[in-house]
Structure 1
Amino acid sequence: MPLWTIYHTPDLFTDDDKHQLAARVADHYENVGLPRFYVVTLFRETRPEDFYVGGEPAAAAVRITIDHIARRNPDQESRRRSARWIKGMLQDQLGQREGLHWEFHVDETSEDLWMINGIVPPPGGSDAEKNWAKQNSASPY
């Protein structure tokens, strides 16, 4: 499961912006073989007086934390590719805004500590996972 938590100061994203970004994120993971419903994106608006960068309140800022559980990058080059992909996807919406501080990081979490609807997800690339992707939902296997 990729979990994207996007902390942001007010008025940076419209509802349409949020929907478009969440759909692009889900599209990417679906294109690399994950069931679409694995992808969760949360937008967490944070007041500038509660969002500090370098010890100072940030008027306009975005901090994205990404948890990868379903898959891991096997080596440094694949991690760099993932970081470039993320940057490229965010650059259009965030990189053009003057005065905006934005950053992200990715954690790779143990899949041993993950369940969906109380079910341990099937092994990556297995027939059961492909069936989950086709159904776009979890089911016993």
Structure 2
Amino acid sequence: MPRWTFELTPDTLSAAEKQTVAQHVTDIYVELGLPAFFVNVFFHENRVGCFFSGGKTPPNAVFFVIDHAARSFPSEEVRLAFIQRINTIMRPILAPKGIKWEYNIYEHPRDNWRVNGMIPPIDEPEVLQEWIDEDNAVPYGEYAIETEEQPAPLQKWQ
């Protein structure tokens, strides 16, 4: 997490454009101090007639959702700067093609997020640095001890 999920028709973006978007998106979060492997970018290609906008199949449209769990925006200024960064990534690729693009950003509770079953060490700088250096989720703390996990009994949801 973060996860960027794009919905578009086939051939709206070339493989090179997808790679460019994915790299620029990853760069944002690496600059903010997250490991590159936290960043996930998906391109879901839907054939014409499988998604609609305004009751019509949009041949030149890209819709995407940005999901955040690692961090939330600490201020309105930071939120607006992030949106500007998104626009500087997407506009040069989509605007020249006349593509309509729309996105939404969701912030999820961090305590529901896991990587390889572990709580990511966002608030533990030394462990987070190890994850960054290894570019992988490295067992730490209680996760470094191998145990035979037994599933906890489920409680009914209210």
TM class, shorter-length: over 0.9
Distance 1:94 1:118, change over 3 A: same
Structure 2 gap segments, 5+ residues each: 141-158
Which structure exhibits the higher relative contact order, with contacts defined as CA atoms closer than 8 Å and separated by 6 or more residues? 1
Q: Secondary structure at the match of 1:119?
A: coil
Compare CA radii of gyration and give the structure with the larger one: 2
Offset at residue 35 of structure 1 (A): 0.4
Moved over 6 A (4+): none
For 1:87-135, what per-residue CA distance to the aligned partner results, in whole angstroms no more than 9, with x for missing partners? Answer: 111011112212x211111101111111011111002462111110111
Tell me the residue number matched to 2:57: 57
What amino acid is aligned across from residue 61 of structure 2 in structure 1?
A
TM-score of the aligned structures, taking structure 1 as reference length:
0.93
Deviates more, 1:59-68 or 1:116-125: 116-125
Tell me the residue number matched to 1:78: 78
The CA RMSD over aligned residues, in Å, is 1.2
Q: Are 1:31 and 2:31 counterparts?
A: yes
Tell me the residue number matched to 1:135: 134
Measured in 2, the distance between the counterparts of 1:25 and 1:57 equals 27
Q: Secondary structure at the match of 2:26?
A: helix
Say how many residue pairs are matched.
Answer: 140
TM-score of the aligned structures, taking structure 2 as reference length:
0.84
Q: Indicate the structure with greater strand content.
A: 1
Structure 1 gap segments, 5+ residues each: none
Tell me the residue number matched to 2:9: 9
